[in-house]
A = this chain, B = another copy of it.
């Protein structure tokens, strides 16, 4: 994956709390913003996300999703069928990140990218 916003790798920095800090914590990780981007559109299942994201391993995807769930950004719904289905969606808190993701996307499109 390309480099991304990451949390400090060494020790934590003594924080002079910048208004960006909160958001940066939420979006930490190389895949997090992209995961949320796909979830903005509509709820998606684990396998869908994995395919959409192209290249993420199930270990990492699972890890990020649990992190987002713990932060209250994403909710997880298990549909008890066989084979099992699990659907992820943004919570209302998660939807508050849309302005950030949209701004990022607009920049990308401005810079001449294809759409997702």
**A residues whose Cβ falls under 8 Å from a Cβ of B:** 1-9, 13-25, 27-30, 32-34, 37, 51-56, 96-97, 99-111, 113-116
Contact assessment for A2 and B25 in the assembled complex, using a CB-CB cutoff below 8 Å: yes
Copies in the complex: 2
A37 — which chain B residues lie within 8 A by C-beta?
18-20
A7 to B18, CA, bound (A): 22
A2 to B15, CA, bound (A): 13
- Within 8 Å by CB of A2, from B13, B28, B55, lies B28
A111 — which chain B residues lie within 8 A by C-beta?
22
Distance from A14 Cβ to chain B, minimum over Cβ atoms (Å):
5
Q: A107-B97, A113-B19, A116-B18 are in contact. Are A55 and B4 (CB under 8 A)?
A: yes
